[in-house]
Structures are given as C-alpha cells and as structure tokens.
Structure 1
Amino acid sequence: MKKWTLLALLLAVLMVLAACGDSEEEAGGGESGEGESYRVGIDTTYPPFEFEDAGEYTGIDIDLINAIAENQGFEIDFNPMDFGGIIPALQADQLDVAIAGMSITDERKEIVDFSDPYFDAGLSLVVAEDNSDITSLDDLEGKTVAVKSGTTGAQFARDNEAEYGYEISQFEDSPSMFQEVSNGNADVLLEDYPVIAYAIAESELALKTVGERLTGDQYGIAVLKGENAELLEKINAGLQELRDSGEYDEILNKYIAE
C-alpha cells in the first residue's frame, strides 16, 4: 500500500514540475517578442511599390517592410491580394498588417491605425499619349474615367463625378486600367503620380500625365484599429531608424530616379 502511495506522490510532483516549466517557457516567449511572425497584405500589381520580378516580390514597400522587420526582430509572411480586399482582410483577422501604397485618409482611419507617413504621393490625370483634349478636370464632361477599386483615385472620382459630369469605369488592377485608356475604351485614368510615372518609363506605355497633381496624399502602413498597437510601435521605430541610417533613402533611390 505504501509503495503505491509513494509512486503516486512522485508522479504528481513530476507533473507539477513539467507544468511549471511549460508556463515559464510560454511566459518567456511572450516577454521577448522576438520571433513573432505577422501576415502582411500586399498588392503586387502596383510597381514601383509592389510587384513580382522572376517570381520574387520586390518594390519599395517590399524592401521597406523587410528592412523594418529585420531591424525590429520579427518575421513576415506576405499575402498578395487585390487592393480592395486588403482592409476587409484586416477586419476578418486574415492579416495583421498592410503595406500597399495605401494613402492615409480620414475614412480609412475609422477602420485602421496608420504608421507615420513613409511616402508623399498624389493623384494625377493620365491620358493616351496622343490625347490633346484633356488637360484638367474641367475637360472631363461626358468622358469615361478609369479607376482602380478601393483606391483614393476611385474615391476622388466618386466625390467629383457630379461636379464634372463624367462616367466612372472601375478595375481590379492597374495594368487593366492602363490598357483601357491606351486602347481608347476610356478617356482618362486617375493614378498616384509615382506609380504611373514608373509604369510609363519602365513599360513604355502610350500614356502621359497632364495638369497639376490633384491631391497631396501620404502613404502609411496599416493595422486594424485598436489592435496590434505594439506592432505599430515597432513599425514606427523601425521606420525612423531606417530614415536615420540612410537606408530609407537607399530603398527609394533603388526604384525612383531622382
């Protein structure tokens, strides 16, 4: 009888020690924060910020978030998708963070928290290379304006549709929108200036920008509002360190000629 009692006591002690060890290990991992992995939403149809080259993700946004992750000691897992699906994916807990040439707007701030701005952009009017009829918003009455779904360009077009009397045609990706204007099915498109300038230069598109920039947008990195505050803090800290070290400028200069 005593033999079985002693054995049971020893087993109970071993179980308690094992449980304590597991608890300490879990607590230690939570305190360090190192080795955390975050799901990052991107839109790979958006050069020079995000695109694929020889099967690899590349661009300003890709290099920037990779550098921030390395600086702050966390891992990232890229999740490519249509731009319009990125914020819904954050809301559905399918993503932890988004970097996709996303303009900081009051409307988006109701759903996400943004990092410090990392790029100054702005919308431009873009027409076919041989188009001399359109030079400003005042020339758009009765015209068809192509926009990319979910973008600030699409929102700008909706906000000004009644005033300038044009029709809107929406697309899920930038290349399709560019082609629509190139082949004459749409008269003009709205796109962020650095994106269209890069596309025209690199792809020899038969397009040109006209007029002044319509907005003064800034891009930010987003997390779901009220969530992942610690991650947002790391992103801002990493972004500032990249600016201070000069690596931020090196990344921009790699894709955008001064």
Structure 2
Amino acid sequence: MRLKRFRGLILAAAMATVVGLAGTASAADGGKAKLQAVTDPSFVPFEMMDQKSGKMVGFDMSILEEVAKRAGFDYNLRTMDFNGIIPALQTGSADLALAGITITDKREEIVDFSDPYYDSGLRILRKNGDDSIKTIDDLKGKKVGVKIGSTSYDFLKKKFGNSVNVTPYPGSADMYLALMNNSLDAVFYDAPNVAYFARTRGQGRVETAGPLYEGQQYGIALKNGSQWVDAVNKALASMKDDGTYAKIYKKWFGEMPPADK
C-alpha cells in the first residue's frame, strides 16, 4: 500500500509539473492555437522568398498575417510545390493554405474555402498613356502578345478569330519586353502578373487597362471540416470594412482594388 501511495504521489507531482509547463507555454503564446500553414513559394507577387530576410513575403503572406491576428491563431509556415497543397490539407498535415488557390467545385468537395479574397482573371497591359486601348474590344486590329499555352490565347481566338493579330511568346518576360520595344500594341495575360510587372520593372512604361476577363476567385483553403472557417471569414470581412485589405492590395499591386472589394 505504501508503495502504491508513493507511486501515486510521484505521478501526481509529475502531472502537476506538466500542467505547470503547459500553462507557461500557453501564457507565452497568448493561449492561441498554432495552425500549420502552407504556400507555394513561386507565385509572384502573391508569395515569394525575400532574399535579404530569407522569409516568405507577398500579398498572400500579408493577408495570412492579418487574418491570423484577427481570427486569433498563430501559425507555422512551410513551402511546397503547388500540386502538394490540396493533398496536404486532405491528409491533415496542413490546416490552411494560401497560394493563389482558385475556388472550384471539385476542390470544394475535398477542402473548405474561405469567402473569396481576390478576383483574378485575364487583363490587358498597354503602353503607358495609350488611351486607344481601354477594353477588350479595342484589341481588334492590334498586335497582342500572349503566353504560349495560356488561356488568354484561347480567349482571344474564340472572341475575335483572326481580327486580332495574336503572337504567342514562350515566357512572360519576352512579351513584356516586346511591348516596351513597340513590337506589340498590348499584352493580354493573367491579371496578377501583368499588374505586378506594371508596378515593378515596367513602371512608367506600361499600365493595366480594362476590367478582368474570364474571372476566377481565390480563397483561403482549409482542411475539410475546419473549425476556423467562420473566424477566417469574419477576419477577411473586417479587413475590407476598415480599409486594411485595400492597403495590402495597393502595396503589392500598385493600385486600389475594385470598388466592390
């Protein structure tokens, strides 16, 4: 009996120590849950590695930081190939992901999504101050650069046939250079990429024009059945209401978001 009692006292003391340590850890991190977040490191300007700091930066990373603060969780962030992100959420090795992930019916069958936080699609890039090109219809009779294999080529051919002179380029840098060298009248390509180029290397020489075409929406992906969906949605809504979202948007894209965002 004495032996059992002695063992019981040791176990109780050990448990008390663990509880004490757990309480200290909880106090240290504010009692917040720590979620596992993943992203793709190569979708500029949504997520990219800052060579000076060695940290991931970009539009999505700024959104994640602010959402976590408002929703009440901390997170560990790791990078992986885009193709591995949805499987990581399915297996539970990740809790949430931001990587310019388009909300689709197929993906919604296996993961949860937040409300949309970014409207993507195709957009026109024109030479700075060229008011002859304002919308898609103004591309008739123009020389337009697209990227080989992109949806922009199919979009233009379906809409205009041969009334637009479409030139496919192997890389986006090639078509941007052709535009600035006056070999093209415009570029038609993914909205985030053209906006970023206009904000950085093309600043003062090219600019975006017109609305988005063939629209898509990005959402924060969470593992199926996540308890954080409502909190994330409330955080996103409050960011849009108080202007924080607009500030983040302008920082990374160089322009204010559409009025309804």
TM-score normalized with structure 1 length? 0.64
Q: Deviations over 1:129-178 (max 9, x none)?
A: xxxxxx58xx99xx97334xxxxx59x96xx99xx8xxxx9xxxxxx842
Give the alignment's Cα RMSD to 1 decimal: 4.5
Deviation string, structure 1 residues 21-51 (Cα, Å, up to 9, x no partner): 4897799899x99332222222232233222
The verdict on how the C-alpha distance between 1:190 and 1:86 changes in structure 2, with shifts beyond 3 A counting, is farther
- How far is the alpha carbon of 1:243 from its aligned partner? 2.6
Q: In the TM superposition, what is the alpha-carbon distance from 1:110 to its structure 2 partner?
A: 2.0
Which of 140, 145, 148 is the equivalent residue of 2:148? 145
Q: Which amino acid aligns with 1:103?
A: T
- Structure 1 residues 238 and 210 mapped into 2: Cα distance closer, same or farther (>3 Å)? closer
Aligned-pair CA distance for 1:68: 1.4
Say if 2:216 is the partner of 1:220. Answer: no
Query: What is aligned with 1:101?
Result: 100
Are the aligned partners of 2:198 and 2:208 in contact in 1 as well (CA < 8 Å)?
no
Q: 1:42, 1:79 within 8 Å by CA — same for their partners in 2?
A: yes
What's 1:196 paired with?
A: 194
CA distance in 2, matches of 1:90, 1:180: 36
Give the superposition deviation at 1:250: 1.9
Gaps of 5+ in 1: 128-134, 148-152, 170-175
1:61 aligns with 60
Q: Does 1:47 align with 2:17?
A: no
C-alpha contact (below 8 Å) 1:177/1:189 kept by paired residues: no
Amino acid at match of 2:9: L
| Number of residues of Structure 1 aligned to a counterpart in Structure 2 | 223
Report sequence identity in percent: 31
Task: Measure the CA separation in 2 of the matches of 1:230 and 1:224.
Answer: 9
The whole-number CA distance in structure 1 between the counterparts of 2:45 and 2:31 is 30
Deviation at 1:104, TM superposition (A): 1.4
Post-superposition Cα deviations, 1:47-88, rounded to whole Å, max 9, x if no partner, equal 332223334322221111111112233222222233333223
Deviates more, 1:204-213 or 1:49-58: 204-213
Matched residue type, 2:192 = P
**Structure 1: how far apart are the matches of 2:187 and 2:80?**
22
Structure with more of its chain in helix, by fraction: 1
Tell me the residue number matched to 2:172. Answer: 178
Pick closer, same or farther for the CA change 1:74–1:210 going to 2, 3 Å: closer
Moved over 6 A (4+): 22-30, 205-212
Q: What TM-score results when the alignment is normalised by the length of structure 2? A: 0.63
- Which runs of 5 or more structure 2 residues have no equivalent in the other structure? 127-138, 162-167, 179-185, 257-261
Q: Cα 1:207–1:242, aligned 2, differ >3 Å: closer, same or farther?
A: closer
Which SS does the other structure have where 2:115 is aligned?
coil
Distance of aligned partners of 1:240 and 1:15 in 2 relative to their CA distance in 1, 3 Å threshold: farther
